[in-house]
Structure 1
């Protein structure tokens, strides 16, 4: 299976790592789709502000709800995340060679978000790299039936995984995904 995941401890670290990876691969002529987290700039920035940039260099979605300056909690804007997933899903039909998903998060653990896009990519033999955190690792492993490859959260380690996978010949369509992998919801 052409699926890798990596775990980064810091908030936003996956976005930077995946952005650099996408830039290098695009520079090598590889068609990359997906999304990376970007940081909001400005004095009014709230710690909960979350933005995703659709690759390559596409739309930026704010995926956090604005709860006001005095708020203490964060709230995901599920509709915005679903809109980003829809845009990335459309890109898969345009000859994408690699899908990068910044995070398998709470929505994906619940069967929404990028879960269907990930399954579609793998079903079409498009390699996938996903960021996962400790909170959602169990749900990710359940979704993938434990068949993904764990890769160190380093640029060279990700390149060492993806480049041979991209060069591997396609030996026809498989019956992927088996059993539990089809559970998009």
Structure 2
């Protein structure tokens, strides 16, 4: 009950997961999780990242401004942990599926949404997550043979959700 899609480039998984979430919400599916919204006002400006918590918000910033010369990761771990806490609380409402934007560096190190994935699976809530190609070996080490790779195809993802989500 752990499905994943591979993102070959930044934002690829975000776009399809956002469309999937919208379709599931329209169908009346009880879901929780988060999709990432990334904005950049100009080509030379750092991107601003936020998680839109499903199904209907809030929007939580997960990037921090490290200054114009910074080259490191701009992820705000406090913002991410706040979002994870709210998603964990949402598991109490017994969603039918958990959608997560990505398995990244934080998750590879045991933080971020990683504990949330385990909690959802322990409650028999299926999880669908995006995984960047570069993080795939780390995700596979975490998930083992429990995870199923899915195509980045909206009808196929909707079908997988319908087959696996709880009633």
Query: What's the TM-score once normalised by structure 2's chain length?
Result: 0.91
Higher alpha-carbon deviation: 64-73 or 132-141: 64-73
Partners of 1:74 and 1:111 in 2: how far apart? 17
Superposition deviation, residue 74 in structure 1: 3.3
Superposition deviation, residue 50 in structure 1: 1.4
Superposition deviation, residue 164 in structure 1: 1.3
The structure carrying a bigger strand percent of its residues is: 2
Q: Is the 8 A contact 1:64 1:77 kept in 2?
A: yes
> Which residue of structure 1 lines up, in the alignment, with residue 53 of structure 2?
54
Q: Is the 8 A contact 2:40 2:48 kept in 1?
A: no
**Measured at CA, do residues 101 and 48 of structure 1 come closer, stay the same or move farther in structure 2, by a change above 3 Å?**
same
Q: Show CA shifts across 1:74-114 (max 9, x none).
A: 32111111111111111011121100010000000000000
Superposition deviation, residue 27 in structure 1: 1.1
For these two proteins, the number of residue pairs brought into alignment is: 167
Superposition deviation, residue 26 in structure 1: 1.2
Partners of 1:44 and 1:149 in 2: how far apart? 36
Superposition deviation, residue 129 in structure 1: 0.2
| Structure 2 segments unaligned to the other structure (5+ residues) | none
Give RMSD over aligned pairs: 1.9
Superposition deviation, residue 120 in structure 1: 0.5
SS, match of residue 100 in structure 2: strand
Q: Is the 8 A contact 1:14 1:37 kept in 2?
A: no
Q: Which has the greater radius of gyration?
A: 1
> Which residue of structure 1 lines up, in the alignment, with residue 159 of structure 2?
160
> Which residue of structure 2 lines up, in the alignment, with residue 30 of structure 1?
29
Between 1 and 2, higher relative CO (CA 8 Å, sep ≥ 6) is seen in 2
> Which residue of structure 1 lines up, in the alignment, with residue 64 of structure 2?
65
SS, match of residue 51 in structure 2: strand
Q: Is the 8 A contact 1:14 1:36 kept in 2?
A: no
Q: Is the 8 A contact 2:9 2:132 kept in 1?
A: no
> Which residue of structure 2 lines up, in the alignment, with residue 9 of structure 1?
8
